[in-house]
Amino acid sequence: ADNEAQERIRAARARLGERAVLLCHHYQRADVYQHADLTGDSLKLARLASQTDAEYIVFCGVHFMAEVADILSKPSQLAILPDLAAGCSMADMANLAKVERCWRELAEVLDQPDELITPVTYINSAADLKAFCGEHGGIVCTSTNAPTILDWAFSKREKVLFFPDQHLGRWTGYKKGIPLDEMVVWDPDLEYGGLTPEQIRKAKILLWKGHCSVHQMFQPVHIDRWREKNPHGFVISHPESSLEVCQKSDYVGSTEYIINTIAAAPADTHWLVGTELNLVSRLAEEMKPQGKVVQFMAPTVCMCSTMQRIDPQHLAWTLENLAEGKVVNQIRVPQHEAELARIALDRMLAVS
């Protein structure tokens, strides 16, 4: 059945020609990744989506990525997600109602949050949260540009509300020398985030209580055990990992950064990698000829289960429909929301 799906994908693509471009995130499974026209991390894919002329942008990734493609592409282009259930569990940890409630509660403590706080949303978030940032003088960041974006945010106002990933926010603030006790966790399920007015007034960064279910699996002890056996090896992690894991790593960065760093390293080096399994497995294969050993950080199998939903069957079905002129699984952000979200995305693209 799998070979059949591969054949169907090739046939439908041949019929579509240049009308469809396949953008693939690095976490995509191998049997889908092999069909990619273009690959990248979230920032690179956002830029690529804004530059392509194809009529259909078929996004092999997750929902928020297809939303960004829709917002940044021309009105005549359509963003397509081969399985509408491919969401991001971290993105779902924040929603507009909760962020608006947070903003109202901050207003009770600080009077004028719009003058004191820059809202920064990680690109792993729904379009209406990007719109919230566009409307309130805020900005979007990715794992690649978070340091630059945080500088921008603090150049505008004295505090930052960072959502939904507490780990990326904490690591980025920590690298800038912000004391850990000035970065406090805002729990959206508690009144005032579970914080006292004093804590809110003192905070430099309010970190939304969200995380990635894949990267939370990586633990400092995995690094310690590996280093005992590989004293000359290198550890590289994605900044969605915990602060302790990032602190113990030799390198920390986005998926594209991880790929480029290992590719540029000398032959015969050993690597422990703290990010999603599909990417690590692909790297391990690609680096073998240079004698590089690439290993996955956790002892358990952990893939991004939602990204995994984009499988050859869904891709074949989607492309066949498009080739027949039938638009399926289009991701369309309502116009007003898209305009506001675009403000926050354009701010990001301008400074990064």
CA atoms within 13 A on the CB side of 293: 10
Asked whether position 254 contacts ligand 13P by CB under 6 A, the answer is: yes
Binding mask 32-61 for ligand 13P (x = CB under 6 A): ---------xx-------------------
CA atoms within 13 A on the CB side of 99: 29
Asked whether position 124 contacts ligand 13P by CB under 6 A, the answer is: yes
Whether residue 164 is preceded by a cis peptide bond, meaning omega within 30 degrees of 0, is: yes
Q: How many residues does the chain have?
A: 352
A 10 A CB-CB count for 226 gives 17
Q: Which is nearer to ligand SF4, 62 or 297 (CB)?
A: 62
Given a contact cutoff of 8 angstroms between Cβ atoms, the answer to whether 88 and 130 are in contact is no
Using CA atoms, how far residue 44 sits from 29, 51, 59, 63, 81, in Å, is: 19, 11, 13, 16, 18
Q: Which of 31, 70, 19 lies closest to 314 in space, CA to CA?
A: 31
Minimum CB separation of residue 212 from ligand 13P in Å reads: 5
Through-space distance between the first and last CA atoms of the chain, rounded to whole angstroms: 44
Binding mask 143-182 for ligand 13P (x = CB under 6 A): x---------------------------------------
Sole binder of ligand SF4 in the list 78, 129, 160, 214 (CB under 6 A) = 214
Residues touching ligand 13P, count (CB under 6 A): 11
Q: Which is nearer to ligand SF4, 294 or 302 (CB)?
A: 302
- Between residue 39 and residue 78, which ones bind ligand SF4 under the rule CB under 6 A? 62
Asked whether position 307 contacts ligand SF4 by CB under 6 A, the answer is: yes
Asked whether position 22 contacts ligand SF4 by CB under 6 A, the answer is: no
- Summarize as ranges the residues that interact with ligand SF4 (CB under 6 A): 62, 88-90, 124, 212-214, 240, 276, 304, 306-307
